[in-house]
Structure 1
Amino acid sequence: MIAFDAVDKPRSVIRWLSKSAGARLLSQIASEESEITHATLDKFPQTLHLNHVRQTLVHTGVLPERDEYLDRIDPWLDTLVSSHPEERAQLVRAYARWHVLRRARSRASRRTFTSDAGRRARTMIRVALEWLTWLDDIDRKLADVRQDEIDQWLTANPTRRGYMIDGFVAWAKGRRLMEGGTIPSYPKGEPACFLDDDQRWQQLKRCLDDDGVALTGRVAGALVLLFGQSPTRLIHLSAAHVEQQGEHTFLQLDERPVLLPPKLAKIVIKLRDTGRPSSVLGRAHPGTHWLFASVTPGRPLSIAGLRRRLDELGIRTRPARNAAMMALATDLPAAVLADLFGLHIVTAVRWVKYAKRDWAAYVAERATEANGNSAGSRAVDNPTVGSQQLRESRSTVPR
């Protein structure tokens, strides 16, 4: 109640208490005789309303912070296996807790455990359960699995998701629950889906210039189209990542701040200075000033929420990111790409190789046209940000 006393609009609280499903759930939780803890909340169905209430209690100090995307997995796991035969359920629980979650906790101790990391962990567990169910369907015991069964599975499930049984197979073999068979590496394809240059610049111009579009979507869209940033990385940006030095504005996407073009700097600063939590409790107890704030107190916008805002602008994340990375890799060496945009150096080198090959193919095509008396030209200069400006990002800010 102390938290509610601090809000700027008491009527908003009254409306929330009288009409919100979250408020009804909070009342139900409060009626429990036991102390309110995370374990208490884990006993309730894990819905969006419960997640919102939990984070509200964390944000106002009623509950301690926890690795939310990691700690949600245990109660989710119990629900997942509850309808399966006990032997299968026990095996999946053991794999989840001693392999998937153990590694996840190790990762969480070193860096932020994101919603994408949580989604991947749940997918690994789901795929293991589907694999064991499939083995039962073909009347094959785990101990009797050989390469033939693995090949059958991969033929029927040739996606990256299907290949995610590799974790379970390695774990089971390490505990001598199965003997034969290996999982080949998933074949890595080259990026194939690209936004063409005209579409990319049209969308970028709209993000930079159209004041009729919500600022959150404009800033996110520009950062995807210009710097190839993922929604996963964007949602963790806070006001502290934006720095002004005289006439220059920098955005820290990784260890090295990036110098922003003037038009992009203008809308980033506007979002930083005008954005605020939309919930009354979030405004009363601000916490971290997220650049992309959500309605949940103390939390940034979800990845799905940010993707919806990009979808509303017609920006498909994967083609837009691929086009941006190809343009950047054409101008910049791998070390600069990795330094500025948080890429692993191997990934950065791969992008530079793609870009060089693409450029070589273009030159060969134009040479053929020239020999055939055909005229053609290609605009390779980026009208908004170029290699010189990005290199300045490395020299303007001291290490």
Structure 2
Amino acid sequence: MQCSTCDKIRPCFHSADGTPRCRACLTKLEPCTDCGRPSRVVARTPRGPFCENCWEVAPEARKPCQQCGTVEKLFHFGLCRRCAGERHLRQPLTSPNGEVRPELDKVATALLDFNSRRTLLYLRESATAKQLVTDLGAGACDLTHEDLDARMPGPKDLSVDYFRSVLVSAGILPVRDEYLARLERWIEFKIAALDDPEDRRLITAFARWDRVVRIRRRARGKPISPAAVDVAQSQIGKAVTFLTWLKKHDATLATCDQTLIDLWLTSEDHQGPYIARAFVAWAVRSKYASSLSIPHRPQRTFYRPLDADERWTIARQLLNDDSYETKDRVAGLMVLLYGQTPAKISRLTTAHVLHDENGVALQLHKTPLRLPPPLDELVLQLVEIARSHEHMVMSNEQNAPWLFPTQRPGKPLTNRRLTRRLHNIGLPSEAARCAALLDLCIQMPPAVLQRLLGVSAFAAERWAAGAVRTAYAAEVARRS
């Protein structure tokens, strides 16, 4: 057809609406009517084009549902999200005789009450999820964690996780440590992919009876962190790589000597050779190998502390600029002002926030840390946002909502995702944390720093020593 924007004869979209547009014109950036920023156009109205964010709140996007009359942003075919969900979710959950089992009716209610739009997109985009719902309705699948695990086609396929988290939050499925279960499932897939029976036996013993047992012991009955899963997966994966590398050099774990270990550490065929240290140490302890050792990884890269002026400039922006999301503002200020790591920030719950007649405090360690204004108001806003999430399973020892929740109930932001969000707003977390701790060590003794921020005694002493040198250098610079 003839494109209504560029007037060229091309394959076009939206021809039924009388406004055909080619792919190039659809992806062309245009100024939004409301915000004025050049963006991809998702809707055109008599007032002008709209970007995706502005269209979410535009009054033109709200129309009455053809079934229930509710005025909201319709999902498809003139139906609101709830009515469309009732049609497309309850139909596959209905048995061939036309009946819906009571437990499946609870499943449909939980999915639609939590987020009906996401449920519809979930069923549309995931073939695994659609097949799962169909099998539940036909009675070919039970509502258990084991049956849901069996429906996952691969270790990295998380299509069932959203479905599972909603059911757990609604009380239909029992609460379990999902990160630990994901690690054990990943280990099963990893072992099943090994062809050599001896390698399978070694990796099974190392993964299940050393790494997993170690993680359980250190967790002490509490849910494990996603960082612990990442470390264990990298160590197990590197163990598999090491055994494969030994075969290429006509050796086994029993015949391996230190010369081969040195060759492994200097080889360019793989990355991170020092990660195999845990596997080699376990093999020596378990008498699968002898006289082998891999040294500790070379000292980590030192991050240059953020410049003081730049640090306070970013802090003022986060304190006063409302265009940033509240979670990004609070997380960034915790890094800039108090030297907290994204891993620790992401595990904070509403129980860590103390609000009394003296103000707002944050329980990072033994002694509550009093928050100055306007940071205290931002933290209280974050608490209200966290508590407004319905159907939240806590999955933490405080039995309180996460301060940084995700769209999956009961799951907080991971360390990696929070670090990426801080990077997107222009905040290098490691450099900012170094600058904050050096500044704090000038103002208070290491023991106080330990009680307030939860820094270990050894780390507090090291930071204090660095702060003394930094303060001396700054004094010399001022004199000159």
Provide, for residues 43-79 of structure 1, a one-character-per-residue CA deviation record: whole Å limited to 9, x for no partner: 2224232222222222222222222111211221222
Whole-angstrom distance in 2 between the partners of 1:145 and 1:134: 11
CA shift, 1:29, in A, is 5.5
Secondary structure at the counterpart of residue 335 of structure 1:
helix
Whole-angstrom distance in 1 between the partners of 2:329 and 2:458: 31
AA in 2 matched with 1:95: F
1:80 aligned onto 2:199: no
Whole-angstrom distance in 1 between the partners of 2:418 and 2:248: 40
Contact 2:446/2:457 (8 A) holds in 1: yes
AA in 1 matched with 2:294: I
Number of the residue aligned with 1:42? 149
Whole-angstrom distance in 2 between the partners of 1:76 and 1:109: 22
Change (3 A) 1:351 1:111: farther
CA shift, 1:143, in A, is 1.4
Contact 2:391/2:409 (8 A) holds in 1: no
2:452 to 312, 327, 340: 340
Secondary structure at the counterpart of residue 334 of structure 2:
helix
Whole-angstrom distance in 2 between the partners of 1:13 and 1:134: 45
Whole-angstrom distance in 2 between the partners of 1:114 and 1:338: 22
1:153 aligned onto 2:264: yes
Change (3 A) 1:105 1:32: farther
2:124 to 19, 32, 50: 19
AA in 2 matched with 1:351: W
1:200 aligned onto 2:311: yes
Contact 1:4/1:13 (8 A) holds in 2: no
Whole-angstrom distance in 1 between the partners of 2:211 and 2:201: 14
1:168 aligned onto 2:250: no
Of structures 1 and 2, the one with the larger relative CO (CA 8 A, separation 6+) is 1
**Worse-matched range after superposition: 89-98 or 11-20:** 11-20
Whole-angstrom distance in 2 between the partners of 1:222 and 1:337: 17
Contact 1:59/1:285 (8 A) holds in 2: yes
Contact 1:200/1:225 (8 A) holds in 2: yes
Larger Rg: 2
CA shift, 1:10, in A, is 8.4
1:259 to 362, 370, 375: 370
Change (3 A) 1:316 1:37: same
1:324 aligned onto 2:430: no
Number of the residue aligned with 2:162? 52
AA in 2 matched with 1:40: D
Secondary structure at the counterpart of residue 244 of structure 1:
strand
Please give the root-mean-square deviation of Cα atoms over the aligned residues, in Å.
Answer: 2.8
Number of the residue aligned with 1:141? 252
CA shift, 1:116, in A, is 0.6
Change (3 A) 1:26 1:85: closer
Matches within 5 A, 1:240-279: 240-275=351-386
Calculate the TM-score normalised by the size of structure 2: 0.69
Whole-angstrom distance in 1 between the partners of 2:158 and 2:116: 24
CA shift, 1:16, in A, is 5.3
**Worse-matched range after superposition: 349-358 or 74-83:** 74-83
Provide, for residues 216-265 of structure 1, a one-character-per-residue CA deviation record: whole Å limited to 9, x for no partner: 11111111111111221112212221112224210112232111111111
Whole-angstrom distance in 2 between the partners of 1:177 and 1:14: 50
- Between Structure 1 and Structure 2, the one with more strand by share is 2
Change (3 A) 1:18 1:104: closer
Contact 1:294/1:302 (8 A) holds in 2: no
Change (3 A) 1:193 1:134: farther
Provide, for residues 141-192 of structure 1, a one-character-per-residue CA deviation record: whole Å limited to 9, x for no partner: 21122222222222347x9943222221121112211111222233435733
Number of the residue aligned with 1:391? none
Secondary structure at the counterpart of residue 180 of structure 1:
coil
Change (3 A) 1:347 1:317: same
Number of the residue aligned with 1:186? 297
Contact 1:216/1:292 (8 A) holds in 2: yes
Change (3 A) 1:273 1:132: same
**Number of matched residues?**
364
Change (3 A) 1:315 1:28: farther
Number of the residue aligned with 1:385? none
Q: What runs of 5+ residues in structure 1 fail to find an aligned partner?
A: 370-399
Change (3 A) 1:365 1:273: same
Change (3 A) 1:291 1:99: same
Q: Percent identity?
A: 34
CA shift, 1:300, in A, is 1.9
1:299 aligned onto 2:411: yes
Provide, for residues 333-380 of structure 1, a one-character-per-residue CA deviation record: whole Å limited to 9, x for no partner: 22112211122211111111121222233344555x3xxxxxxxxxxx
Contact 1:172/1:178 (8 A) holds in 2: yes
Secondary structure at the counterpart of residue 72 of structure 1:
helix
Whole-angstrom distance in 2 between the partners of 1:160 and 1:102: 26
- Between Structure 1 and Structure 2, the one with more helix by share is 1
Calculate the TM-score normalised by the size of structure 1: 0.82
**Worse-matched range after superposition: 48-57 or 214-223:** 48-57
Q: What runs of 5+ residues in structure 2 fail to find an aligned partner?
A: 1-104, 395-399
Matches within 5 A, 1:205-244: 205-244=316-355
Whole-angstrom distance in 1 between the partners of 2:327 and 2:303: 28
Whole-angstrom distance in 2 between the partners of 1:179 and 1:18: 53
CA shift, 1:331, in A, is 1.8
Provide, for residues 268-323 of structure 1, a one-character-per-residue CA deviation record: whole Å limited to 9, x for no partner: 1122123456xxxx524575422112100122223333223212211122111121
Secondary structure at the counterpart of residue 165 of structure 2:
helix
CA shift, 1:137, in A, is 1.8
